[in-house]
Each structure stands twice: as C-alpha cells, then as structure tokens.
Amino acid sequence: MARTEDYIEALSEAQLFENSEHRTRFKELLDCYADYPFFTKGLCKCMYLSAWDEEHFAIMLQTLNDMALGKEQNTDDMRFQGELLAEEHVDGEYYMYHLSCAFLDGRPFLPSEYKTVNEHYRYIITRGLQAAEVIDRV
C-alpha cells in the first residue's frame, strides 16, 4: 500500500485540491486512518470527497472514528450508511453519496448517473472522478 504522502503528492501534482483547507482536511484523514485495516483506495477516494468542506469532513471523521473504535475490518457498514444517507438527500448530495458507495464497491460511476445535477455538484463529482484515477495509479 502506498504511503499517505504518495497520495497527497500525486493529487497535488494533478492540482486536484481546491484550496489549502481541502488538502489539510484530506491529510488529516489519511494521517489518522490510513493504517487501519479498513483503509482501501476506495476509502481514500471517499476521504478526498469528504475533505471538500467542513460539513462532509465532520461526517467522515465521525464515521471513521466509530469504525476505529468498533475495530472494523472493512467498510461494509460505511457502505450501508452511505446508501441510507443518499436516500435522505436529493439532487447533488444524493449523487455524491452514490459516488462514495461506488468508490467503496470499486465499481464505475457513470457520467449519465449525474447529468441532471446542478453545476456545483457536477464539478465536485467530476473532480472526485479525476482524483479517483490519480489515487488508482498511486
């Protein structure tokens, strides 16, 4: 498995961090949870998405903390929680949670799945998919 610095460096070189706060939040998640048995590249992609803003970062941080305390070995419960959260939201948030579930499942997320989403969320999803490609190469 790659070192956390490798992910940060690769995403930085690809200019995929929106700002220094995005990078810092992502680094904090990696630093805290990359050594747990449930860490995967799929989870790393979810971390990138969740680090986009404080609200989603806090949700991810709480989820990962609960997983660490529960000594989880995989992201199955996180995946289930993502489906529940998706159903509670509409528009872009709905697709963001489905994208996270696709990352955790290791399956593709097709552009047709979010073509009707507003421009703000389409941008985040597009950047998330670009980051996923970079993370896969690390």
Segment 20-43, tens digit of pLDDT:
999 999 999 999 999 999 999 999
pLDDT tens across 55-98, in order?
A: 999 999 999 999 999 989 999 989 988 888 888 987 888 899 99
Question: Nearest 5°: phi and psi at 54?
Answer: -65, -40
Q: Above 90 in pLDDT, residue 113?
A: no
Query: If residue 113 lies in a helix (H) or strand (E), which one and from where to where?
Result: none
Q: Give residue 91's pLDDT.
A: 81
Confidence of residue 111 (pLDDT cuts 50, 70, 90): low
The residue among 32, 26, 28 whose CA lies nearest residue 11 is 26
Q: What is the pLDDT of residue 85?
A: 87
Residue owning tokens 């989403």: 117
pTM exceeds 0.85: yes
Please tell me the total number of residues recorded for the chain in this structure: 138
Number of neighbouring beta carbons within 10 Å of residue 73:
10
For residues 115 and 117, which has the higher predicted lDDT (pLDDT)?
117
